[in-house]
Amino acid sequence: MGIDSLIGGTIWDAYSQKVQNLMNNPRNMGEITEEQAKAMGAKLIVADFGAESCGDAVRLYWAVDPKTDKILDAKFKSFGCGTAIASSDTMVELCKGKTVDEAVKITNIDVERAMRDDPDTPAVPPQKMHCSVLAYDVIKKAAAQYKGIDMESFEDDIIVCECARVSLSTLREVIRLNDLTTVEQITDYTKAGAFCKSCIKPGGHEEKDIYLVDLLEEYQKEKMAKNANSMATGGAVAFADMTVVQKLKAVDRVIDDNVRQMLIMDGGDMEILDIKENGSHIDIYIRYLGACSGCASANTGTLFAIEGILREKLDENIRVIPV
Amino acid sequence: MRVYLDNNATTIVDPHVFQEMEPFFVQKYGNPNSLHSFASETHQPLKDAMERIYAGINAPREDSVVVTSCATESNNWVLKSIYFQYILTGRKNHIIVSEVEHPSVMATAKFIESQGCRVTYLPINHEGLIDAQSVRDNITDKTALVSVMMANNETGGIFPVQEIGEICKEYNVPFHTDAVQAVGKIPVNVQSFNVDYLTFSAHKFHGPKGVGGLYIKKGRELIPLLHGGSQMGGLRSGTLNVAGIVGMGKAMEQAIDALDYEMIDVRAMRDNFEDELLKIEDTFVVTPRDKRTPNTILISFRGIEGEAMLWDLNCAGIAASTGSACASEDLESNPVMEAIGADADLAHTAIRFSLSRYTTQEELDYTLEVVKKAVKRLREISSSYAYTPNR
């Protein structure tokens, strides 16, 4: 938060002058007909991307010289908001005169940069980055059509965040190297998830094959498997044989890795008060904090879950007792 | 020319309202809870304002109409208090809301759902309305609250609160209605139907922002959301917003006086404007006119994304609104359009025009011309609208 986020402005205030002008007067709006293409001695390509029901759709027309692969003329039509119109128009402008192979290299970031008034101020607010992605995707579609190949073959890597163009392999590497545990951290490191937010978790503007939360979970699982491995093979002391301090630390670690995040997400937390041996049982006394204290499931579902995890990770004979 | 057709978002403050509020900033600025004359000179105006507010919704004197800071506070208060009183204590485990409530009900319902309460979200039908029967189908002896708005902000659709109130009475379940979009547009009378809590907000009926209200029926008292100096009979602490209360009182009185004008003249202007809009090809209105507040039109222009339309209108000085995709920060399509589910291609094309008693025929004539131009321009750009220039 902070002063800049407390009074939200209208997103329109964040549009560059260029974007506004293009919204009002797009230069390349229209169609290219079969006859027009023929007259240029060109092959006509018409590519559609997006869907009206999703709120964004664009159609790209290319007249391509079959001998040189050069895009002789380009036009667009768009169902979308003003920034979708401006992005489409800019994308078309960037295509003109390029070869198909050159055009495929145009990214949504190029489109966005071309609409900036000054180099350091984004042309559109974060929620609108998505519009320039559509403009980028339709180029690939058109190029694939021209070459008679599959659209996916232009990507050597899966792009998880389209707005910031962050690939799956980059994300996996950054998460692992920096031991990231939250989406906010991923965004800080890679900018993924900073814009339209569709890639964070299911339910956003676009459906994805893999989301940032999946990658975090995948890494956590990987880490846990490694831990379990080292515990089993590294000659670690059995839980029952640990000193009280070691036991507390071990319990704390398991709670941190498996439980705390869930509780915090629901507005609560817990602390470990004491560990006592009680006959064949090891009793762990805990206290719920925040929303957890008084939560209906604190003495049922949540408790069983915590106990289950501790038994699985540390010792069969653990009992968890909320105080 | 600047034209304001976004009166479901907020309204101009009536000059008479502003005039009544003015003395309470520089001259009569006392805290009503003090003992001296600076305090006491505010008491009569406050009492008069409360009388006007009570009269405006026909609240019996033994019931409470608590002045709050806004409708969001009123709605939060009802749901959270019900959570504390019934859900947290384990007496009940369920509440019912409609799926098109204002975010201040919806987000609060989601929050208490996250705390373990079961929440039923009643669907709207093809007309964008709630069927009272769906309340009967979902209510149980474990239901702690039913909250269904009186009129919808997007469509203006009037929901069957009379019948829902009856069902709640039968099951002895408290009934809350968010009447923010109803006060000043249709009669709101808490004695004409069974209702326990009713929310309203001054700035939707030409009063000031920052002041709203919650009607609470006797015997259905809530736990305070704001604890402190025991203002408002201890129900809602916080130094009284003297100017705001005085302003809301006057605004309520004016709104009641103008109700006939709103229901006859504004409606006639709205109907006429809507007829003209519907003459444009491929336009759609969902909720039937006689089931709507008299000032609201939610209309879809096929092939035109809502924000693009708003942009063109704004360039011509016209303020309207859309809940659809790009205009809202969270990039969601209009929830009402989505819930109706009739035609997915229309989900992002809805524009809301909301009139008030300040709207003039001249403004609507101008708007119609601008809309026609915008429709032509944007359909030429549209990839999903088969535009033929010579049609």
The yes-or-no verdict on residue B328 having pLDDT over 50 is no
- State the pLDDT confidence band at B356, using cuts at 50, 70 and 90: very high
pLDDT number for residue B187: 98
- Tell which of B235, B257, B279 closes a domain: B257
pLDDT number for residue B299: 94
Who contacts A84 (Cβ-Cβ below 8 Å, separation ≥6)?
A56, A58, A78, A131, A134, A135, B305, B308, B326
> What is the domain-level CATH number for residue B249?
3.40.640.10
Same domain, yes or no: A65 and A117: yes
In-domain check, residue B160? yes
Closest Cα in chain B to A28: B381
Same domain, yes or no: A20 and A105: yes
The yes-or-no verdict on residue A155 having pLDDT over 70 is no
Contact A77 B381 (CB under 8 A): yes
Flag whether residue A120 sits within 8 Å of chain B, measured between CB atoms. Answer: no
Same domain, yes or no: A201 and A263: no
pLDDT number for residue B389: 43
What is the mean pLDDT of the segment spanning B252-267? 98
pLDDT number for residue B343: 66
Q: A313-317, B33-37, B220-224, B327-331: which range is least confident on average?
A: B327-331
The total of structural domains in chain B comes to: 2
Instruction: Look at chain B and count its residues.
Output: 391
Domain extent for B305: 259-381
Closest Cα in chain B to A126: B329
Looking at the DSSP bridge assignments, the partners of residue A29 are: A76
Same domain, yes or no: A53 and A166: no
In-domain check, residue A232? no
Same domain, yes or no: B251 and B277: no
The yes-or-no verdict on residue B44 having pLDDT over 60 is yes
Same domain, yes or no: A16 and A92: yes
A58 vs B333, B383, B385: nearest CB: B383
Q: Which residues of B touch A78 (CB under 8 A)?
A: 381-383
Phi and psi of B121, rounded to 5°?
-105, 110
Same domain, yes or no: B192 and B112: yes
* Cβ–Cβ < 8 Å for A49, A67: no
| CA-based nearest residue to B176, from B71, B255, B102, B97 | B97
Contact B308 A82 (CB under 8 A): yes
The yes-or-no verdict on residue A229 having pLDDT over 90 is no
- State the pLDDT confidence band at A173, using cuts at 50, 70 and 90: confident
Contact B348 A48 (CB under 8 A): no
Percent of chain B with pLDDT over 90: 88
Q: Which residues of A touch B325 (CB under 8 A)?
A: 55-56, 81
- State the pLDDT confidence band at A244, using cuts at 50, 70 and 90: confident
- Tell which of B257, B279, B311 closes a domain: B257
- What is the spatial distance between Cα B286 and Cα B131, in angstroms, rounded to a whole number? 16
Alpha helix locations (H) across B235-327? 242-257, 259-261, 267-278, 306-315
* Average pLDDT score, chain B: 93
pLDDT number for residue B242: 98
The yes-or-no verdict on residue A226 having pLDDT over 90 is no
Same domain, yes or no: A133 and A47: yes
Contact A81 B327 (CB under 8 A): yes
- State the pLDDT confidence band at B151, using cuts at 50, 70 and 90: very high
B209-233: pLDDT as tens digits:
999 999 999 999 999 999 999 999 9
pLDDT number for residue B169: 97
Q: A92-101, B235-244, B336-345: which range is least confident on average?
A: B336-345
List the catalytic residue out of B70, B117, B315, B326.
Answer: B326
- What is the spatial distance between Cα B227 and Cα B205, in angstroms, rounded to a whole number? 29
Flag whether residue A82 sits within 8 Å of chain B, measured between CB atoms. Answer: yes
Which of the pair, A195 or B362, is modelled with greater confidence?
B362
Residue A312 token pair: 């699985």
Same domain, yes or no: B291 and B340: yes
The pTM of the full predicted model, rounded to 2 decimals, is: 0.78
Looking at the DSSP bridge assignments, the partners of residue A58 are: A49, A78
Q: A43-52, A147-156, B133-142: which range is least confident on average?
A: A147-156
- State the pLDDT confidence band at B340, using cuts at 50, 70 and 90: low
- Tell which of A154, A174, A194 closes a domain: A154
Domain extent for A71: 3-154
pLDDT number for residue B331: 41
Q: Which residues of A touch B383 (CB under 8 A)?
A: 48, 57-59, 76-79
In-domain check, residue A100? yes
- State the pLDDT confidence band at B13, using cuts at 50, 70 and 90: very high
For residue A47, the surrounding DSSP H or E stretch is: strand A43-51
A77 vs B329, B345, B383: nearest CB: B383
- Cα–Cα distances (Å) from B348 to A55, A80, B60, in that order, read 5, 9, 44
Same domain, yes or no: B295 and B338: yes
Percent of chain A with pLDDT over 70: 95
In-domain check, residue B333? yes
Which of the pair, A8 or A213, is modelled with greater confidence?
A213
In-domain check, residue B377? yes
Which of the pair, A273 or B64, is modelled with greater confidence?
B64
B67-126: pLDDT as tens digits:
999 999 999 999 999 999 999 999 999 999 999 999 999 999 999 999 999 999 999 998
Same domain, yes or no: A34 and A112: yes
Closest Cα in chain B to A24: B312
**Cα distance from A30 to chain B (closest Cα, Å)?**
7
User: What number of C-beta contacts closer than 8 Å exist between A and B?
Assistant: 93
What is the mean pLDDT of the segment spanning A108-119? 90
Contact A79 B115 (CB under 8 A): no
What is the mean pLDDT of the segment spanning B349-360? 96
Q: Which residues of B touch A295 (CB under 8 A)?
A: 115-116
Same domain, yes or no: B252 and B266: no
The most confident of A1-15, A287-301, B26-40, by mean pLDDT: B26-40
> What is the domain-level CATH number for residue A56?
3.90.1010.10
CA torsion B218-B224-B226-B229 (nearest 10°) is 70
Same domain, yes or no: A27 and A126: yes
In-domain check, residue B286? yes
Contact A127 B331 (CB under 8 A): yes
Same domain, yes or no: B158 and B282: no
Percent of chain A with pLDDT over 90: 29
B290-317: pLDDT as tens digits:
999 999 999 999 999 999 999 999 999 9
**Cα distance from A77 to chain B (closest Cα, Å)?**
5
In-domain check, residue A312? yes
A26 vs B306, B314, B381: nearest CB: B381
The yes-or-no verdict on residue A175 having pLDDT over 90 is no
Same domain, yes or no: B184 and B271: no
- The question of ipTM being above 0.85 is answered as no
Same domain, yes or no: B250 and B337: no
Interface mutation vs chain A, best among B312, B315, B381, most A CBs within 10 Å: B381
- What is the spatial distance between Cα A238 and Cα A244, in angstroms, rounded to a whole number? 13
- Tell which of A154, A184, A201 closes a domain: A154
B329 vs A53, A127, A266: nearest CB: A127
Same domain, yes or no: A166 and A144: no
The total of structural domains in chain A comes to: 3
Contact A79 B385 (CB under 8 A): yes
Looking at the DSSP bridge assignments, the partners of residue B146 are: B96, B175
Which of the pair, B26 or B337, is modelled with greater confidence?
B26
The yes-or-no verdict on residue B325 having pLDDT over 80 is no
- State the pLDDT confidence band at B327, using cuts at 50, 70 and 90: very low
The yes-or-no verdict on residue A156 having pLDDT over 70 is no
What is the mean pLDDT of the segment spanning A196-220? 85
Single-letter amino acid, residue A94: L
pLDDT number for residue B116: 94
